[in-house]
Structure 1
């Protein structure tokens, strides 16, 4: 038993059963809500495991618009009725809740739960929550057995922001600097890439921090459909540089019209078809073991556009469809 499994790895809150439209029996009528098991055997094999992270604390500390703590439920509701192209198995391990302002404890508990799922052989999708979810997800990766024997970790962030702030307290703006500092303690250098960075949304200090850490990035203005060859080269070079992928998707990478329900809607953004293409290419590599979806704020959403976009990305990565 790993050290992560030796501590408590139970969720703070178990999920409700997934529900949705039912068109009758048979594999050709399957939707997500038919295949997700809630609170099942934690060691049973599954094609994907879902973990929720109900947290607004990082967004509050980062002076953003709060409401992302309700993101996991909204993502589940949007994903549940989507039709599956083929049968698969999925488990919902429940939610870690940050309700007392103790973000650091919540990230630690999330890491323990993610590590348990990864050590059971399940690819994990974490449903956020503010982007502080990324550090909690990462802590689960490094506490699992996936990086033993010298496996190379690669972290790809689809985001308008670097999230490399050097603040006194962790927030939704600090997770990737926290990762870099953690990797340094392990004697490693963080292999961190960002696709969709918005120049007006990041100070020069953040660009300098990125350069100091050796971060490679592709600006949003170079991520349009006409730049697909450059996007593909960026993604493929990243995949060649690592063995295990942690993909973090901040939904504010999408244009505001596609993703209005985020703390900081994008004036430019990266179009949905490009983001979906990148997610599918990462998933098809076979290296994707951990993904988190961050910053969905249902209180700010319009016609569930942001929730639907996030659910479609999860669906595409898990099914290829």
Structure 2
């Protein structure tokens, strides 16, 4: 288990608390909770011919989160990491079980990666929790901030580039709608075959050259009105290499951080209007082996902070 530590401002009492001081505190079980669940894996990145090192990602994100201020009347839980040593599918299943357990306790899950193979585990965790908690079919919508579709064929093996194709196959197998939107797609980083498959499957997407808040709202609102549960995943290679050098495939252009933060808050605000529940978010492709001045880890932590700020009640 990660050793949470950081600055303490005792002179400010409860108003000076930081993430490392509130994590895994006992009591106040009636408060809403965020549960940190990690998948320490770069097996999918290696299989996708990317730069290894993402298995250390969850720890680096926690280190960056530790000193951030805690503004909310809520609990913070750290469920630790699933370690992917040799069998990716097995590790994804163990991670999915941890996600399901947290969701079934009405805790919001913030997944920490690791390569973007975390997405297949996150989806399975949400799907299984919904199957356990209700006999009624629940439509899942996915919003992915990413330079890549990650819709590659999973044959002969799965990777960090295949999770949403795996999800599509799962939807087809179970008769579910494939509700997938990808924001930040680079035409220079996806083949014609991937664009064709995206079009064939009804994937919604915005190119990195099209990313304005109005464009994102127009793209996402029809999907949000047609889903019951929302899963958001943030691939750090969606951002410029200057802001996120610590990834497998740094972006030459990337999308604006403030734009993504605005969309995250929009997704939280639209829950009541569109009648869906945002249950799960993960942050993927954190690779500290290539990080500079911990820029990528700090960005990942800020994004986690913004998700919490969008969803939790202020103290």
TM-score (structure 1 length as normaliser): 0.89
Matched, 1:218 2:199: no
Residue number among 281, 305, 313 corresponding to 1:291 in the alignment = 281
- Is the 8 Å Cα contact of residues 31 and 74 (structure 2) preserved in structure 1? no
Question: Structure 1 stretch 144-153 or stretch 106-115: which is displaced more?
Answer: 144-153
Match of 1:12 in 2: none
Matched, 1:157 2:131: no
Residue number among 214, 229, 236 corresponding to 1:244 in the alignment = 229
Matched, 1:304 2:289: no
Please report how far the alpha carbon of residue 89 of structure 1 lies from its aligned counterpart in structure 2 after TM superposition. Answer: 0.6
Match of 1:264 in 2: 249
Provide structure 2 residue ranges, at least 5 long, that are not aligned to the other structure: 272-276
Please report how far the alpha carbon of residue 238 of structure 1 lies from its aligned counterpart in structure 2 after TM superposition. Answer: 3.0
Residue number among 220, 230, 236 corresponding to 2:215 in the alignment = 230
Match of 2:66 in 1: 80
Match of 1:180 in 2: 168
Matched, 1:207 2:195: yes
Helix, strand or coil at the partner of 2:136:
helix
Please report how far the alpha carbon of residue 151 of structure 1 lies from its aligned counterpart in structure 2 after TM superposition. Answer: 2.3
Match of 1:62 in 2: 48
Within 1, Cα distance between the matches of 2:2 and 2:73?
21
CA RMSD of aligned residues (A): 1.8
Within 2, Cα distance between the matches of 1:203 and 1:118?
36
Within 2, Cα distance between the matches of 1:45 and 1:84?
14
Please report how far the alpha carbon of residue 190 of structure 1 lies from its aligned counterpart in structure 2 after TM superposition. Answer: 1.2
Matched, 1:196 2:184: yes
Please report how far the alpha carbon of residue 28 of structure 1 lies from its aligned counterpart in structure 2 after TM superposition. Answer: 1.1
Match of 1:35 in 2: 22
Within 2, Cα distance between the matches of 1:276 and 1:19?
26
Residue number among 164, 168, 171 corresponding to 2:159 in the alignment = 171
- Is the 8 Å Cα contact of residues 235 and 278 (structure 1) preserved in structure 2? no
TM-score (structure 2 length as normaliser): 0.91
- Give the paired residue count: 301
Helix, strand or coil at the partner of 1:71:
helix
Helix, strand or coil at the partner of 2:62:
helix
Matched, 1:137 2:122: yes
Within 2, Cα distance between the matches of 1:82 and 1:45?
20
- Is the 8 Å Cα contact of residues 258 and 306 (structure 1) preserved in structure 2? yes
Helix, strand or coil at the partner of 1:150:
coil
Within 2, Cα distance between the matches of 1:45 and 1:68?
33
- What whole-Å deviation, never above 9, does each CA across 1:140-181 have from its counterpart, x for those lacking one? 011102674232210111000000001321100000000010
Within 2, Cα distance between the matches of 1:27 and 1:235?
38
Change in Cα spacing, 1:141 to 1:154, as seen in structure 2 (3 Å) is same
Change in Cα spacing, 1:74 to 1:16, as seen in structure 2 (3 Å) is same
Runs ≥4 in structure 1, deviation > 6 angstroms?
none
Helix, strand or coil at the partner of 1:144:
helix
